[in-house]
Amino acid sequence: MVAGQGASPLFGTLKAVATFFDYLRFERGCSENTVKAYEGDLARWCAFCEGAGLSPLPPSEEKVAPFLRKASLEGKSSATVQRYAATLRSWSHFLQMDGWIEQDVWLPPLPDKARRLPQILNEGEVERLLSACPDTLLGLRDRALLELSYGCGLRAGEACSLHVGDADFRRGTLRVLGKGDKERLLPLVGQIKERLRLYVGEARPGLGGTSDVLFLSRNGRPLRREDFWRIIRRRGKEAAIPAVRLHPHVLRHSFATHLLRRGMDLRTLQELLGHASIATTERYTHFDLELRDVYDRCHPRA
């Protein structure tokens, strides 16, 4: 088991923790990024318990409350504190389900999470962002990457993990491997298809490299998520879009919001986004309504 940097020695001795990570990987189908997030949270929990002279098993109200309070006092955001609570809830449930504890398990309540409007781009800003990519090798790559991410609603990790063979130009489809290694097939049409074809045919060969990963760096290595982030920021700056409005999921959020405003039903959007639950997709409906409320309240001619 891999413990986070500075993790408590106790963290590595708890067999229940290692078994929990196997459960996340193989039964719940969680991605490695999700498992690493659980690892970090539980390492912090074990370190807290060790420092306080407490046993981390089982998480009880008397232990969890000061743990979350300490995180808040350290300046952790409400979203982070809520994630800590959610991690301990999942772990507590697993401990009882797998027989590590016999008594009825206490599940930590989730703290209230501040609701925020998503940072999205309007359609004009998306067009400016795309147009900021010049007709150079890297410009053609960036244009194809941004067209595909916006046009198909991809997560940054999904876009960077695509392989050349995932794009079927004849059938007009794109095969995407999402969270939990769940595969979905997306339409590859119109400007998105043509920009990707142009990149694959003209720009990608000039970037070199032996990898069959679709998007390559200037040195021919597979593009990473941090590279994706830098590309959005650079092209956004050239398009005169404030940096505060740009983040790794901005194109995915914009994709979902724009399709809803144009009348797409939630079930279809759920399939396109690869959400396991439609409740996750429904948040875009709530976001859109909030945006409209703000518009109605603030616009002088609304």
Neighbours of 233 (CB within 10 A): 15
Of 199, 249, 253, 258, catalytic: 249
DSSP label of 135: S
Collapsed DSSP state (helix, strand, coil) of residue 173: strand
Q: Is 179 part of the annotated catalytic residue set?
A: yes
Going by the DSSP 8-state scheme, the letter that residue 176 receives in this structure is E
What CA–CA distances, in Å, run from 187 to 133, 169, 174, 194, 271?
A: 23, 10, 6, 13, 11
SS3 222: strand
Instruction: For residue 284, indicate whether it is catalytic.
Output: yes
Cα 143 to Cα 123, 171, 196, 231, distances in angstroms: 16, 22, 8, 10
Q: Which of 163, 179, 221, 233 is catalytic?
A: 179
Mark whether 275 is an active-site residue: yes
Residue among 83, 143, 155, 258 flagged as catalytic: 155
Cα gap 288→121, rounded to integer Å: 13
| Residues recognised as catalytic | 155, 179, 249, 252, 275, 284
